[in-house]
Amino acid sequence: MTISASIYPFFLIGGKSKIARQKTFTIYFPYYVMIAFSFSGVLLISTRFDPFILAFITSAFITTSQTWLWFTKQ
C-alpha cells in the first residue's frame, strides 16, 4: 500500500522508457529519502525510540529504498 501510494505515482508521471525511469529516480529519489528520513526521525523521537517502532521504520525505509531501485531497473 505504501509503495503504490508513495513511490509508483512518480514513475507513472515520469514515463515508461528506461531513460525516463532513470531520470525520475535521479530527480525525485533524494527528496523522497530526505522527507522519509526526517519523518522517521521525528516519529522515533516522539515515541522515545520504542524498539518495535524502530524495527518497523527501519524495515519500511529499507524496503521503500529498494523499491525505488527495483522500479528504476524494471
* Torsion sign (Cα): 33, 35, 39, 41: positive
> What's the pLDDT band for 12 if we cut at 50, 70, 90?
confident
pTM of the model: 0.81
Range in 6-10, 23-27, 33-37 with the lowest mean pLDDT: 6-10
pLDDT for 26:
94
Buried b (16+ CB within 10 A) or exposed e, 50-74: eeeeeeebeeeeeebbebbeebbee
Residue 59 has pLDDT above 80, yes or no: yes
Residue 2 has pLDDT above 70, yes or no: no
Hey, what's the torsion of the CAs at 16, 31, 6, 18, to 10 degrees? 10
**Which amino acid is present at 57?**
I
